[in-house]
Structure 1
Amino acid sequence: MESREDYLAAVERIAAGHGPVAVDAERASGYRYSQRAYLIQVFRRGAGAFLFDPITIGDFRELQDAMVDEEWLFHAASQDLPCLREVGLVPTRIFDTELGARIAGFPRVGLGAVVEQLLGITLAKAHSAADWSTRPLPQSWLVYASLDVELLPDLRDALAATLDEAGKTQIAQQEFHAVLNRAPKPPKAEPWRRLSGMHALRGQRALAIARSLWEARDAFAQETDIAPGRTIPDAAIVAAAAAAPETRKDLSAVKAFTGRASRSELDRWWAAVEAGRTTEDLPKLRGRGEPTLPPPRAWADRNPEADRRYKAARAAVAARAEELDIPLENLLTPDTLRTVAWEPPADVSTAGVGAALEALDARPWQVEETAARIAEAFVAAGQDDGGAAPASS
């Protein structure tokens, strides 16, 4: 749908349909700088499937009003919710078939695998990594995009029955609610440090050049709405920073300084190199991001007590995950378990550990399934140390 007239007619049909509303969005990750939606698909029983072009439609308030009180169906909702919010499409209830499949214990949770397992239908995923900013979109892509939502209501019903039989409906609902209400991650303090190959650079000056080039590339990518890596790749930035060229000609001569914009925007890149070569604001050799825990492999030396707590608690949580037939990372995120093991609550009891888990945004079902086991593991690890009081409920 591209015209307002067709869009409004589609909204009327969707409003007149029945049951939950299946929603999907296609972005152009890897091609464009933005993560905006370039196609939005909607299907509802009794209405049919509709494909909307958000670039031309712009304002989706009528569609939002028509769907806001209904359950929205997604496969991997966390991927689509941000770009849908950008255009004003915000659900109040969701059912996520990808997350539901994880909770159900399915070995593979991609859309094609879950559809095949529950509905016996084989889906082709030929266009999943396509450049959806392309206009006009090929007909084969539109057919693929339509199928992504047309099967979701049947898939939702089959998966809901599976979850109900396993006694996991409440677990799934808590997880869906958490996805819907999860706050976006704060931006990285120094995102340029995530350049691939940064470990090869030596010295603050090389880091300063890399930072300056990354910032210039990011600004250019944002201006042109092109994925940064499609202008000059990370390897080109690292190569230029390592070479520390003294002139524009020297930069041009760096063989590894490649990319589709490496020559057409050479003046831009040279200005960035020169800024990095002359700045007095040299970056520290180590990042200044948010404090993070050391990797668990280093715990035995740096904090032996935490290492014993972590290993004991992880084994206990892993055993419960196997009993529930739920992936370990869904029963309790690794970061949550590591954090509470590194700095346990003063009250190492089921209640004390449970409160610590809640403070780290663990859901009620996760606290119920893990708090007592973690507390017992901490106590056992403490007794191995010759200390710690016994846990209590």
Structure 2
Amino acid sequence: MAYADALAAGTGPVAVDAERASGYRYGQRAYLVQLRRAGAGTGLIDPVPLPDLSVLQAAIADAEWVLHAANQDLPSLAEIGLVPARLFDTELAARLAGLPRVGLGAVVESLLGFRLEKGHSAADWSTRPLPEDWLVYAALDVEVLVDLRDALAALLEEQGKTEWARQEFDAILAAGPPAPKADPWRRTSGMHGLRSRRQLGMLRSLWQARDDLARRRDVAPGRVLPDAAMVSAVQADPANEGALLELPVFRGRANRKLVSTWFGALTRGRELPETELPLHSKPGDGPPPVNRWADRDPAAAARLKAARAGLAQVSEQWSVPVENLLSPDLVRRLMWTPPTPADTDAVATALRAGGAREWQVGLTGELLTDAIAQG
């Protein structure tokens, strides 16, 4: 691949972006990869007919990759064999720098002074052939990334946050692809209206049937059967296929053909033994919801209140969002079950064990130790 040779001969960081077909296709596969490097120019790569991109990986393996909101693109890039060894995330850098808006367009406008066209961000990038104006849009994203990286790097250096950013970028790379979510069916929109475990069992069965069909067809699950339709079917609890077809979404031609699939899934959920029905909420290893702390453990509630107040002050002082200053989940866990003894060293150890970076430990360890003492 001639472009791979040009990339290898190029200099400086490599701007990288990927376009997916979220909402159209099953999963988060990359349907277009955009690259740009000084000396090589911009390349738009269609990974669909090119399953082996090892030549590209080899060409830029040692370079710093510049992405915006890297966590969104790294999993789909990894699926096609593109994995960075060094990273600069312009979205995360903008957060650390205290910019009020961190979307790509907003950061480019703030630091580089011009506007990006974002008209095709939600397009179906599995479309072939891709329209020319879509390709122009895709190319523009990587045209600006290295300049944006340089502007943000200068801002972070000015604020004394360069090392913070390095630790954050290293943490993203070390984390690797996210683990599959447990009980993904629990993310069904509108399921809060289902009250019984039997209804939850029916929803889970229907969700699994939809997911299997969506995977086989390579179609986004919501296009096979909307969440609202699944919830309404469970609530209606139809006695037979005819009753299911009376529900609005199921009257359409596509779902009429699938009525046996959907009714069969509902029936399987309805007939589950009591012992196999899902619980109302999935078991967790963390603390209870915060709104229950005052009743269950007033001391823990006091610790959390003090911790949040201290973190808010540090956030304002350094112009870093609280959620980037320290993971809210880690704060809750630490305040619910503090180390014993709760001295500064023990708190620092607990923070590191929970994934906190050294810059975060340095900024928050003492105030969290003080918060624990208040409970």
TM-score of the aligned structures, taking structure 2 as reference length: 0.96
Instruction: Give the drift of 1:303.
Output: 1.0
Q: Structure 1 pair 376/211, CA: closer, same or farther in 2 (3 Å)? A: same
Q: Paired residues, what number?
A: 374
Question: How many Å separate the matches in 1 of 2:199 and 2:269?
Answer: 8
Residue 335 (structure 2) aligns with? 341
One-letter identity of the residue aligned with 1:164? E
Residue 267 (structure 1) aligns with? 260
Q: Secondary structure at the match of 1:50?
A: strand
Question: How many Å separate the matches in 2 of 1:325 and 1:134?
Answer: 42
Q: Structure 1 pair 18/184, CA: closer, same or farther in 2 (3 Å)? A: closer
2:316 paired residue among 309, 312, 322: 322
Q: Secondary structure at the match of 1:314?
A: helix
Question: Does the 8 A contact of 2:74 with 2:177 survive in 1?
Answer: no
Q: Structure 1 pair 226/269, CA: closer, same or farther in 2 (3 Å)? A: same
One-letter identity of the residue aligned with 2:28? Q
Question: Does the 8 A contact of 1:197 with 1:238 survive in 2?
Answer: yes
Question: Does the 8 A contact of 2:16 with 2:33 survive in 1?
Answer: yes
Instruction: Give the drift of 1:188.
Output: 3.4
Instruction: Give the drift of 1:82.
Output: 0.5
The 10-residue stretch of structure 1 (221-230 or 290-299) with the greater mean CA deviation from structure 2: 290-299
- Identity across matched positions, percent: 55
Question: Does the 8 A contact of 2:245 with 2:251 survive in 1?
Answer: no
Instruction: Give the drift of 1:78.
Output: 0.6
Residue 162 (structure 1) aligns with? 155
Q: Secondary structure at the match of 2:16?
A: strand
Instruction: Give the drift of 1:266.
Output: 1.7
| Matching of residues 1-393 of structure 1 within 5 Å | 8-255=1-248, 257=250, 261-280=254-273, 282-379=276-373, 381-382=374-375
Question: Does the 8 A contact of 2:30 with 2:47 survive in 1?
Answer: yes
Which sections of structure 1, spanning at least 5 residues, go unmatched? 1-7, 383-393
One-letter identity of the residue aligned with 1:221? A
Which sections of structure 2, spanning at least 5 residues, go unmatched? none
The 10-residue stretch of structure 1 (203-212 or 308-317) with the greater mean CA deviation from structure 2: 203-212
Q: Secondary structure at the match of 1:94?
A: strand
Instruction: Give the drift of 1:235.
Output: 0.9
Q: Secondary structure at the match of 1:31?
A: coil
Question: Does the 8 A contact of 2:20 with 2:28 survive in 1?
Answer: yes
Question: How many Å separate the matches in 2 of 1:260 and 1:99?
Answer: 46
Question: How many Å separate the matches in 1 of 2:296 and 2:311?
Answer: 23
Question: How many Å separate the matches in 2 of 1:147 and 1:284?
Answer: 47
Q: Structure 1 pair 358/261, CA: closer, same or farther in 2 (3 Å)? A: farther
One-letter identity of the residue aligned with 2:168? E
**1:106-144 alpha-carbon deviations (Å, 9 max, x no partner):** 001111111111111111111111110111111111001
TM-score of the aligned structures, taking structure 1 as reference length: 0.92
Question: Does the 8 A contact of 1:43 with 1:149 survive in 2?
Answer: yes
Question: Does the 8 A contact of 1:203 with 1:285 survive in 2?
Answer: no
Question: How many Å separate the matches in 2 of 1:159 and 1:15?
Answer: 25
Question: How many Å separate the matches in 1 of 2:70 and 2:229?
Answer: 35
One-letter identity of the residue aligned with 2:99? F
Question: Does the 8 A contact of 1:230 with 1:259 survive in 2?
Answer: no
